[in-house]
Structure 1
Amino acid sequence: MHRLLTSVLVVVLAGREAAGKNFPFESVQLSQADARSFPAIHFGNRHEPPPHNSAIPRCRAWPGSNDWPSDDEWKRLNVSIDGALLRPMPAAAACYQGDLYNETTCQWLLSQSGRTHFWLDEPLTTLTQWPQGSTCTLNLNPQGTCTRGGFPEYVVNATRVKQIQAAVNFARNKNIRLVIKNTGHDFGGRSMGAGSLSIWTHNLKSFEFIPRYTVGSYSGMAVHVGAGVESWELFNHMARNNCSVVAPGGSTVGVGGGWLAVAGHGVLTSKYGLGADQALAINVVTADGKFLTVDPNNQQELWWALRGGGPSTFGVVTSVIFKAYPPITMTSVPLSFDVNRRPPSSTVPSPATSTLPGTVPPTNGLATASDTATFWRGVSLTYRYCNKVIAAGGMCYSYIYSLGNDSFSFTHSHSIPNITASAATALMKPLFTSLQEDLNIPVTLPNLTDRSASLYAGNGRRTGSANPVNTRYRSRLFPSHLWDDDTAWNATFAAIRAGVEEGGYTFHGIAYSPTEAIAGWPGADSAVNPAWRATALHGSLMDVQPEGISAAEARARDARVHAYVQRWKDLTPGAGAYMNEGDPAEIGWKWSFYGKHYARLLEIKRKWDPWAVFWAQTTVGSEAWEVVSLDDYPAGQNGRLCRPRGRRAE
């Protein structure tokens, strides 16, 4: 009898989970009574016809403007969301003379904070600084005063769905720019905006393991993850629950934020697909302030758009149910070499490589090619070989650094799931043999053992830390057909080489292939850019945007790097780019980031958000608005959000 009752209980619980049981924080929702008591947070009705253009302000409300909410209204909003409204100053204010000056704090921020979780737990900061306008830089002896620049005016520290609903309604009803920030991993400034109200989802940390979840043709393990759970936290949950989940490669990337909304790649991309392919249900607050559960059976068009259709576009995601898999072993095979090694005492002159987080080029201990031509032949050979790693469900992860004076360094690793040491050795030996014998590059194949493979979920507790930088990415998804044609590949690799050798940039390459077959159900039918399904290499040109440069200097830098990226585009017509690691000033961004899906996504956007509550640069529908920059900085967020003159309301 006890076993029978236990079995019945398991079935009942599984059925309840499959119906989309909410986390406790999602059960605290905004009521009609709440909205009646404070009309500024009343719900919207997307089915009502929008007002005539003449009745819609051209710009969002701005601090000090006549339509900016009064202090009393901000206080009432704070009361309605249980005191979750913050008005923080930038952390770097501690370095500026004034009431907030604190030399000890400033020194700690400069020297120690990047080794901690401080910047992830800071409500304003995004980890890429340049879109903010450099109005409050972290500097021991800064000049001038600290101002907000592109940082939001107010932040809602969301720990309940009710707070998110009230914030969305308040922003919509009071004509305030709204932004969404999760962990701050944002290379394009989409999580910030001057004069805005920010919804901060970082602290939505709930997690639940679901032994059996059934929806449509899927029946298996799943996990329910709060939007603010970071990758390192998810790995720890995997270890405790003896399962594996497709997760971001960066340890402090939020699982339910822009990673999911754009595509989301990781070490299992060639085995199980993209992050967006893993979703089985998504809880979201939409532009009318409603809280919905969308899945293959509910709100199908929104379900399609939320998986790959862009961040900060269709709603605020609060939690996601993802597929889970049995524990996975992962074998890593490193491979690195350089050429014309610089003396250990020398410095790396190129600003393109000097301060990239976690990507400081090695200066010794690598195998060395005999000359530059041989070095590049070895790099090309290694990238060509990645198609064999992809066929085994693996991934290649690499950087090519320009060290100046015709010196270069190449770091590369191959990650292969569920493979024995002997099989991994057999798979990788031909590459190492070719490098050694054909090119005389003295690389050494590691002595692999089955013990060297560790659970993908991890055996020990992981942690996360991060530090703000000024890295800029320019991205391209290189299609797999290039690997099958020597002429096409040689031309493509020559264009990659030129960006490093001539341009002095860092090339970051990740080889994988998230085809529709690998995506499976329901992942294969989503808004993910179709270019992903044909790709074999995600490549980025990276540099660091210097602080304090003028808008004209920034434009000149953009033009220079765009010339190299254009060579990639010319060789890959119809392909795309990864928006999360792409350029907010991407030329032809609609096709690059969304491909043929853009028109359908725009139709869904207008239906679900006729007020354009959700806006971020290069997101669907964003062309109807622009940031009127206070400093004229290209792609910056330090300015008021307005419709261009003569543009109709969207």
Structure 2
Amino acid sequence: MKQNLPLLCLSIVLARAQDPRIRALPSDSVQLTPEDISDFSALDFGDEDIASLEGIDFPSCKVFPGDQGWPSETEWAQLNDTLDGALLQPKPPAAVCYSGPDFNPEQCQFLISNTSASHYWLDQPLTSLTEWPQGQTCMISSDPQGNCTRGGFPEYVVNVTNVKHIQAAVNFARNKQIRLVIKNTGHDFGGRSLGAGSISVWTHHLKEMEFLPSYTIGPYSGMAVQFGAGVESWEEHNFMAEHNISVVSPGCSTVGGAGGWMSSGGHTTITSKVGLGVDQVLSLGVVTAAGRFVTADPFTNTDLFYAIRGGGGATYGIVTSIIYKAYPPIRQTSSSLNLILANPSNATTPPPGTVTDADTFWQGVSAYYRFAASILDVGGFGFSYIYPQENNGFRFTTSSQFSDFTRDEVVAFMQPLYDDLQQRLGINLTNPTSLFTGVYNSPGGSGASGPAPGNTRYRSRLLPRANWDDDALWTRTMRAIRAATEGGLEHDFYFHGTLTSPTAEVAGWPGRDAAVNPAWRSNRMHAMLMDMAPAQSSARDATMQGYMDLLREVSPDAGSYMNEGDPGEPDWQQAFYGTNYPRLLGIKRARDPWGVFWAPTTVGSEGWEVRAVDGYAMSQNGRLCRVG
């Protein structure tokens, strides 16, 4: 996934002490007024109370281009006037690769060859960095097949730079009964930022940042930061370095910290020490389905404050800004361990950690994963992959992160694992002593590069600490991981395990009362099957679900992480939300009786379905209609 075009927004850095209930970034202060609406009734605000009492007379489907109810060009122009020219109707970037009026072979070659070294794709208003939910109707290729059609890309995009833009878009979509989607940076693995015939609210350019050296709300008193919804992790890290603080931030540098990452949990390398992204939230600026801008915090609009913090994004309101806890600098030191399963060869000297017996290799993997529980218990983090190799081999790579440990302390901590590998399994590895160490606020650079569109499909499971605590259950857990991973040899996928333990105790106040999936609070490993198939299908879904069932069987009461989960997850209400789902559904129905906000597997989404024209149920290339 990639991105280009230099960021044109200037971060605003202030340090004011104000009452938290009334603080607002400059972009939050520009709001829709009666003068903006005037006689343009399509921009009228909604009333949740009246709508909930009277019920809503919806058509069976959201209004779609070509329908009689689709707004006229005059209405779109009037909306654009209210939006100060922020309404876009962009073409898919890959249109330059296809025969027709947009054909441009030089630009097509640029998309193929050069965008990975740029910020191009993040600055594209349409593009999602995962291609398959769009319907794959306009793919980047030097030899494209068929025609380039819009597919699941939105029809219009509002390039948001203030709250007024969001309010106008929400009111217009609600009153005209048009599908609305929300997009931030484009990191979307489940199709939540796409939708045929929709209007997209693009929050990517809400870039303001403010340091609050002294902030008090409820029992919290300390440092804080306020970020606009479009601030990316690399920008957060530059800001942290400037102010010598640490703030929980996405691990991928171009992910937005106040968008979907936060609203479904948000994990990173320091979450075992200070909690998930949702655990840092002290206040939110939100535009509701009625088009109103509100503050949500532990004492104001508490239903929204609860739901948005972990109850899934794109369904209760649109976050415009966020106030996060900030910490003194957190130093991290990392240690790596790698194993290889390979056939014996006399041609070359095998690298360290190479074994030729499959059972020994998997016992080595098991030894690291089980030992990792102690890393988590001291506030650490584990990051691992198991990749299929030629001749039925595998490569196991790990990185263990320790917060506020010295290099010598990390070496001493890891030594028992290396002793076990050598003495019990005969795997000779040297405990590394040259370790990387740095502060969790290292500058993020210029953000000049980013990922390009790809076809990653996550399928995941949150494996609980109970699986580590019981010997028999642990044996079954490793058998499941092995069997699922070995399936990748035939079906071209690999295993990714992140290890983190954001307990309720670590979360603190007000995080422990957030709506985040309860499975996170007892988590040890976020176990993922990473599917890179160029095309998704119902048949492949069935194959992959079979492997995922092995992990579900050893964690029947656990769940999955929506941001890196499968939109085809069976019983997704339980998997993504656990016991919180009924309460969240009640908040959704009260706050959005119109069904303005919809995205796959979000709370309340079971009442609607996309009638995909490409025959794939997970595609967003089709009308959004009521179920039944």
**Range of TM-score over shorter length:** over 0.9
Q: Which of 573, 586, 589 is the matching residue for 2:556?
A: 573
Q: Percent of aligned positions with the same letter in both sequences?
A: 52
| Aligned partner letter, 2:438 | S
| Paired residues of 1:477 and 1:576 also in contact (CA < 8 A) | yes
Secondary structure of the equivalent of 1:405?
A: helix
Check the 8 A contact 2:62/2:178 in 1, yes or no.
Answer: yes
Is 1:455 the equivalent of 2:457?
no
Deviations 1:42-94 (A, max 9, x none): 10111114597794201000000001111111111000000000000111111
Q: Read off the aligned partner of 1:89 and give its amino acid letter.
A: K
Once residues 591 and 503 of structure 2 are traced to their aligned partners in structure 1, the CA distance between those partners, rounded to angstroms, is: 29
Q: 44-53 vs 74-83, which deviates more?
A: 44-53
Deviations 1:352-376 (A, max 9, x none): xxxxxxxxxxx98553113211111
**Paired amino acid for 1:318:** T
Q: Which amino acid aligns with 2:523?
A: T
Q: Which residue number corresponds to residue 354 of structure 1? A: none
The alignment status of 1:465 with 2:450, answered yes or no, reads: yes
Pairing 1:94-243 to 2, within 5 Å after superposition: 94-243=96-245
SS in 2 for 1:475: strand
Q: CA deviation at 1:589?
A: 0.1
For each residue in 1:4-43, what CA deviation from the matched residue of structure 2 results, as whole angstroms up to 9, or x when unmatched?
xxxxxxxx97651533411111111001221223211110
Change (3 A) 1:462 1:513: farther
2:354 maps to 1:371: no
Check the 8 A contact 2:56/2:593 in 1, yes or no: no
Read off the aligned partner of 1:235 and give its amino acid letter: H
Contact preservation (8 Å) 1:179, 1:199: yes
CA–CA distance in 2 between the matches of 1:227 and 1:580?
17
The one-letter amino acid of 1:519's match is A
**Cα gap change, 1:566/1:240 in structure 2, threshold over 3 Å: closer, same or farther?**
same
d(CA) in 1 for partners of 2:405 and 2:27? Answer: 41
Letter matched to residue 620 of structure 1: V
1:384 aligns with 2:396: no
Q: Which amino acid aligns with 1:567?
A: L
* Partner amino acid, structure 2, of 1:483: W
Q: Following TM superposition, by how much is the alpha carbon of 1:545 offset from its aligned partner in structure 2, in angstroms?
A: 2.8
- Please list, as runs of the form range in 1=range in 2, the aligned pairs for 1:251-270 lying within 5 A after superposition: 251-270=253-272
Pairing 1:510–2:498 present = yes
Residue in structure 2 matched with residue 543 of structure 1 by the alignment: 531
Q: 1:419 aligns with which of 402, 405, 409?
A: 405
Distance 2:61 2:543 in 1: 33
Deviates more, 1:459-468 or 1:249-258: 459-468
CA distance in structure 1 between the partners assigned to 2:237 and 2:418 by the alignment:
32
Asked if 1:522 corresponds to 2:491, the answer is no
Indicate the residue corresponding to 2:34 in structure 1: 32
Residue 405 of structure 1: how far off its partner (Å)? 2.4
User: Structure 2: how far apart are the matches of 1:364 and 1:246?
Assistant: 40
What's the TM-score once normalised by structure 2's chain length? 0.94
Deviations 1:290-342 (A, max 9, x none): 00111111011111111011110111101100000001110010111211169
Indicate if the aligned counterparts of 1:230 and 1:255 stay in contact, CA closer than 8 A.
yes
Q: Distance in 2 between matches of 1:460 and 1:155?
A: 28
Match of 2:464 among 479, 485, 493: 479
The Cα of 1:574 is off from its aligned counterpart by 1.2
Is the Cα–Cα contact under 8 Å of residues 43 and 172 in structure 2 kept in the other structure? Answer: yes
The one-letter code of the counterpart of 2:473 is A
TM-score, structure 1 as length reference: 0.91
Distance 1:481 1:611, change over 3 A: same
Identify which of 625, 629, 632 aligns with 2:615: 632
Unaligned runs of 5+ in 1: 1-11, 346-362, 646-650
Instruction: Find out whether 1:620 has 2:620 as its counterpart.
Output: no
Change (3 A) 1:532 1:460: closer
CA deviation after TM superposition for structure 1 residue 440, in Å: 2.6
Equivalent position amino acid for 1:298 in 2: T
The 5 A counterparts of 1:546-565 are 546-547=534-535, 554-565=537-548
Q: Distance in 2 between matches of 1:89 and 1:284?
A: 29
Query: Which of 277, 280, 285 is the matching residue for 2:279?
Result: 277
Matches of 1:524 and 1:574, distance apart in 2? 20
Between 519-528 and 53-62, the greater mean CA deviation after superposition: 53-62
**Over aligned residues, Cα RMSD in angstroms?**
1.9
Structure-to-structure mapping, 1:324-343, within 5 angstroms: 324-340=326-342
Task: Tell me if structure 2 keeps the 8 A contact 1:341–1:408.
Answer: no
Q: Which residue, 410, 428, 432 being the options, matches 1:442?
A: 428
Residue identity in the other structure for 2:621: N
Aligned-pair CA distance for 1:404? 4.0
Distance 2:429 2:456 in 1: 31
How many angstroms apart in 2 are the aligned matches of 1:280 and 1:337? Answer: 42
CA spacing shift, 1:366–1:541, aligned 2, 3 Å: farther
Is the contact made by 2:56 and 2:594 (CA closer than 8 Å) also made in structure 1?
Answer: no
SS of aligned partner of 2:334: strand
Q: Could you say what secondary structure the match of 2:410 adopts?
A: helix
TM-superposed CA distance for 1:467, in Å, is 1.1
> Displacement, 1:435?
1.9
Superposed structure 1 runs of 4+ greater than 4 Å apart: 12-15, 50-54, 363-366
Please say which of residues 107-116 and 390-399 is displaced more in the overlay: 107-116
One-letter identity of the residue aligned with 2:246: S
Q: What amino acid does structure 2 have at the position aligned with 1:457?
A: N
**Unmatched 5+ stretches in structure 2:** 1-13
Q: Which residue of 1 aligns with 2:482?
A: 497
Q: Which residue of 2 aligns with 1:393?
A: 379
